[in-house]
Amino acid sequence: MRIDLHAHSNASDGTDSPAELVAAAVGAGLDVVALTDHDTVAGHTEAADAVHALPSGTRLTLVPGAELSCVAGDISMHLLAYLFDPAEPAFAAERELVRTDRFRRGRAIVERCRELGADISWEQVRRIAGEGSVGRPHIASALVEAGVVASVSDAFTPDWLANGGRADVRKHETDPVTAVRLVRAAGGVPVFAHPGAVKRGRTVSDQVVADLAAAGLAALEVDHVDHDEPTRARLRGLAAELGLLTTGSSDYHGGRKTVRLGEHTTDPEVYAALVEQATGAKPIGG
């Protein structure tokens, strides 16, 4: 079983449509793929339709999910949520709040970039983002189009879009203990995404992870492209100490990042345990 529990479509900052992501998952030989767009479930229906339309003999299970933008103190972090009820009002309202604030903040970042001499526009960013939940990667693509930087990852430096960088502007982000409770109350399963991704900025203390565990966190995403081996070992130890499961996933973003779908995967027993905990939705297809 090849199980990848973290992938983005163009409903947020990936480049594949949800249907293309499903096709890519089949192409990558995956048995299970989770669709985890930032702060939105807008891709779920298209992805589910694509799974149902797969030829008989092709088996793929889709895990509907999302990746929530959170902030612990002043440290941004991401919480994956799987198999929650998308209609549950409290959690839906919080996702809506973050998505709406992404527009205000996107405009402000574009303004900062222009002040810093980059010839990009909000219309251009809106065109790049399409219907997607607007984020810095779309602005990074605009900076690439304008010839300001050579690649999306080159835009995530202190000169431009990195956390605390010259053109970074903060958005509304949810307190992670609140987020864990919202996900559980919607029948979902919360997993801390790339908790040791130091290249993205500061990471939270073990105490914060312990607080999240006490609030109902299910697992740490350990095998991730942004974690080196010592970081993975440390996170495995912390998970064992706190009684948390550990997952692995690609965090695929299509052409916007170089990571391949299925580059990291989750153990089937861990996947089964996560599904067992969910009451808000069921995996689709397979």
Tokens of 207: 């105490």
Minimum CB–partner distance for residue 243 and Fe ion (Å): 24
Choosing from 4, 13, 16, 223, the residue that interacts with ligand AMP (CB under 6 A) is 13
Residues from 197 through 256 that contact ligand AMP (CB under 6 A): 199-200, 253
**Whose Cβ is closer to Zn ion: residue 37's or residue 118's?**
37
DSSP per residue, 231-271: HHHHHHHHHHHHT-EEEE---B-GGGSSPPTTSS---HHHH
User: Cα(222)–Cα(247) distance, rounded to whole angstroms?
Assistant: 6
User: Cα(13)–Cα(63) distance, rounded to whole angstroms?
Assistant: 18
Based on the number of CB atoms within 10 Å of its own CB, is 74 exposed (0-12), middle (13-18) or buried (19 or more)?
Answer: exposed
Choosing from 4, 13, 20, 173, the residue that interacts with Fe ion (CB under 5 A) is 13
Residues from 109 through 138 that contact ligand AMP (CB under 6 A): 135-137
Minimum CB–partner distance for residue 112 and ligand AMP (Å): 14
Helix (H, G, I), strand (E, B) or coil at 127: helix
**Whose Cβ is closer to ligand AMP: residue 200's or residue 202's?**
200
Backbone torsions φ then ψ of 89, nearest 5 degrees = -65, -40
Tell whether residue 221 is a contact of Zn ion (CB under 5 A). Answer: no
CB atoms within 10 A of CB 283: 17
Minimum CB–partner distance for residue 264 and Zn ion (Å): 12
Residues from 58 through 77 that contact Zn ion (CB under 5 A): 67
Minimum CB–partner distance for residue 206 and Fe ion (Å): 20
Minimum CB–partner distance for residue 262 and ligand AMP (Å): 18
**Whose Cβ is closer to ligand AMP: residue 135's or residue 280's?**
135
